[in-house]
Structure 1
Amino acid sequence: MEVLEFMASKLNLLRAKAAEASKFVAKHGSAYYKQSLEQNKQYIQEPPTVEKCQLLGNQLFYTRLASIPGRYEAFWKELDYVKHLWRNRQELKTEDVGIAALFGLECYAWFCLGEIIARGFKITGYDV
């Protein structure tokens, strides 16, 4: 019974917060919308129609598609640079090795954090 009362109180709190947010948006939403459009008018394409949006979407997609060969080449250049560093690892400075180690540690930490989030913030993965 306590759980139901607790959930009901949280639901009422959530309703109150939603109503408050709704009032805020109703009062200030229009002004924010107009201000945002005014500040970013250089990005607005004329005429602002559905057809224009579809054209821009297609342009973005095919431009990204056309940029793949350049990104592919850049990837292989980076990989060649890493291979060169690995072959000449005796010449590396301590700072460079430290930066690389910190970068690897940061990537590993982000991976672990993503795994924890995916499991619903459970550290072990087991229900306790």
Structure 2
Amino acid sequence: MASRIPQLQSKVTEASQVVANHGSSFYKVLLEQNKHYIQDPPTIEKCQTLAKQLFYTRLASIPLRYNSFLKELEYAKNIVKHRHDLKIEDVGFGALFGLECFAWFCGGEIVGRGFTFTGYHV
């Protein structure tokens, strides 16, 4: 493992040089390609107006998202009612999804405790 550290350091140095050399040109190209999204002039008032528009647009979309949630919930209820018609593949996908959710939860708990498994800091 220790023999790989210089190799890793050289790769990181090489990558940082590429970013240093090409970063500003990438930034300029990115801004040029997306200039139709940029508000001119960029004033504080314009930023506040855009923030309010985003907030109220999100607020207005709540009923649509709620109706979509109700449709998904109805679909899930329908699956539970007709569970005898399920194929083993569907059950397997559901089990894998549940396992993935549990794994992300456990990973989040470990990260939240500072990467300790017991919860005690040494």
Q: Which TM-score bucket, shorter chain as reference?
A: 0.7 to 0.9
Partner of 1:77: 71
Matched, 1:48 2:48: no
- Per-residue CA shift, 1:38-79, capped at 9, x if unaligned? 232121123322211111110000000000011111111101
Partner of 1:36: 30
TM-score by length of 1: 0.72
Q: How many residues align?
A: 105
- Which of 101, 106, 113 aligns to 2:95? It is 101
Instruction: For residue 120 of structure 1, give the secondary structure of its aligned residue in structure 2.
Output: coil
Q: Structure 2 matches for 1:5-20, cutoff 5 A?
A: none
Shift of 1:31: 4.8
- Which of 105, 118, 121 aligns to 1:124? It is 118
Partner of 1:14: none
Question: Which moves more between the two structures, 46-55 or 81-90?
Answer: 46-55
Matched, 1:86 2:73: no
- Report the Cα distance in structure 2 between the residues aligned to 1:28 and 1:92, rounded to whole angstroms: 53
- Report the Cα distance in structure 1 between the residues aligned to 2:103 and 2:60, rounded to whole angstroms: 34
- Per-residue CA shift, 1:13-58, capped at 9, x if unaligned? xxxxxxxx8xx87x87755543332232121123322211111110
Unaligned runs of 5+ in 1: 1-20
- Report the Cα distance in structure 2 between the residues aligned to 1:97 and 1:33, rounded to whole angstroms: 47
Structure 2 letter corresponding to 1:60? L
- Report the Cα distance in structure 2 between the residues aligned to 1:109 and 1:79, rounded to whole angstroms: 23
Rg bigger for which structure?
A: 1
Runs of at least 4 residues of structure 1 off by over 3 A?
A: 27-36
